[in-house]
Amino acid sequence: MTLDTSFVVACLNSAEPAHSESLAFLRAMQGNGTTMVYNRLLEIELVEAAFKLAIKERFGKFVPAKRRDGRVRSRAA
């Protein structure tokens, strides 16, 4: 089973709408001995998700301008 970033974030972040369902599915996969894999992009995306979560917790609604290094991720078209 290949793990997707949104699934992993839902498992780790209790504020996510599908947290309990995702965590239950993850535990079921573990219990069944399912082999789980991920790509290196997941690690990078988790860092970005953690950063966004910290910004939301500190400043409320996510504001890209709060990034201290001046970078802002462009919106998808």
pLDDT digits (tens, 9 = 90+) for 8-42: 999 999 989 999 999 999 999 999 999 999 999 99
CA proximity to 62, closest of 72, 73, 70, 52: 52
Cα 9 from Cα 42, distance rounded (Å):
10
Q: Classify each residue of 10-46 as buried b or exposed e, where b means 16 or more C-beta atoms within 10 Å of its C-beta.
A: bbbeeebeeeeebeeebeeeeeeeeeeebeeebeebe
User: Quick one: pLDDT at residue 67?
Assistant: 60
Checking if the pLDDT of 77 tops 70, the result is no
* Residue matched to tokens 């790509």: 39
Residue 68: pLDDT band with limits 50, 70, 90 = low
State residue 4 phi and psi, 5-degree precision.
-100, 150
User: Quick one: pLDDT at residue 53?
Assistant: 85
Total length of the chain: 77
Q: How high does pLDDT run on average in the chain?
A: 85
